[in-house]
Structure 1
Amino acid sequence: MLNLRQLFLPFVLFVAASFTLNFKSGEPGLQKKWETEATLKTPESVIYDEKRNVLYVANINGDGSAHDNNGFITKLATDGKITELEWVKGLDAPKGMGIVGNKLYVTDIDKVVVIDILSGKIENSYKIEGAVFLNDITTDASGNVYISDSSNKKIYLLKDGIASLWLENNSFEKPNGLLALKDGLRVIDMKGGKFYNVSYDKKNSEVIAENIPSGDGIVEIGKGVYLISNWNGEVNYIKGNTVSKLLDTKEQKINSADIWYIPQQKLVLVPTFFGNKLVAYTLVGN
């Protein structure tokens, strides 16, 4: 007769294999730490507010291109406990987020919404002329806000309350994830599968790595070392021009949308989109 340990051991091994790849001594891997309840509503992105030690999740809650007033922002603790499910309501389809001081910037289809973090109120909204599908946001040390338009092959800049076209590049097919670093703006092309660095001055684009399908969020985990999520359900590790897979949940039909990384905790945060959860993994071996 099988005992309970024998009965459940294959299941445990399957789960471990499903959520942890490359978990060997000296090699990078992801180890699942926690997940929220499935009460989020199409979570597309997550960001860590270091000053207040909280997380914010953008919930589309419906069609990602519909002006339906269904979208909202969730506030939660770094252990995954949701403190305010609908902390800020009244958005349409919120996606990328960035923080400058006490302001949370959020893309919302064709505009950028500014939320006062202290009050939890929407205080401003910037309509981006010509925008079709605003997606990700990143901010630099000077407080400049960069915004990708995935349907228009464009990147916009919001500076001192004025929005302008920063870059239109025909090399892009569907620019999505952005990451502002000191030496340039990192861009992942969701359709083309290429990972770029774009210089701030001449706006020249250089391919860092290729073959990264459905690229969504970008985080830097070390100098020149990145994680890039594949919306279909992967997290890829990029070092130099080498791409390796750390997480693959495609068979479970669990998406990996716009990720975030908290270096102090080595915590990788993955919104699961249609899975309606936020999942946290500890980065090991890096």
Structure 2
Amino acid sequence: MKENNQLLQVDEVKITILMDNTIDAFMTGNEIVHRFNMSKAPLTTKDGFSTLIAEHGFSAIIQIKCGERQETILLDTGVSSNGILHNIDTLGINVNDIKAIVLSHGHIDHTMGLPSLIEKLDSSQVPIIFHPDAFLDRKLIMPGGYEVDVSAPKLNVLQQKKIDLVAKADPTLLVDNMVLVSGEIARTTDFETGFPVHYTKRDGRWENDPLVKDDQCVIINVRGKGLVVITGCCHSGLINTINYAQKLTNCQQVYAVLGGFHLTGGTFEKIIPITIDELKKSGQPI
């Protein structure tokens, strides 16, 4: 792991949530957060769905501006084959503006829209950044004994040829050093111990894999503000993720952290108080 990965400071970052677990059409915005204006769109679209739809999972468009230059990357692709494509169309986003795709980790609720998205892209060899574990078979074995397949979709030969697959565990700089993908995040806290019901298939055998080592985040350094850290599920733990972003960039100032934190459910809710305490100790705003 190289520290101080020469991440450039940028003038502005705009993050558009393409897919999240819920949507509230009546939620208002402010000078920082701009909500989708439902008054300018019908409640349903010609395909029968709501103007914007919500699904379990996550996807975000990240636009970075530095001087006159603006670049766009995509983090994650949601849980269904067409969910983010529906919202992309509704929001008027051109998929061919996307210069890189980052997979936060290889679970179905963050990757299932990838094949359909690839079909929409021009043949421009857009890089897809992911950890080498991301496309392994994965499952959850729940306390009741039933199993849930959470594997990422398999890309066919034509889809693989259309894009540039970049599998690496180390950090990756994108769009001329304006964006840093963390790569595998160091686990240093004693309370963020992972996802105990998670299993990965390696060499034909299932093994318990609570750490979900393919978990990674996106890091941007906004001039005069500090780091913006965007997570997919944060299986590494929120504090581990923030600490690692600071170490990678040699920047202690954190402006914003957003995305999935994986702090719901009986396994994780118990660490919410200590997570908040650690945020307070670090001086980060809550």
The verdict on a shared fold, with TM-score over 0.5 as the criterion, is: no
Query: Which structure carries more strand by proportion?
Result: 1
Query: Which structure carries more helix by proportion?
Result: 2
In the superposition, the TM-score normalised over structure 2's length comes to 0.33
In the superposition, the TM-score normalised over structure 1's length comes to 0.33
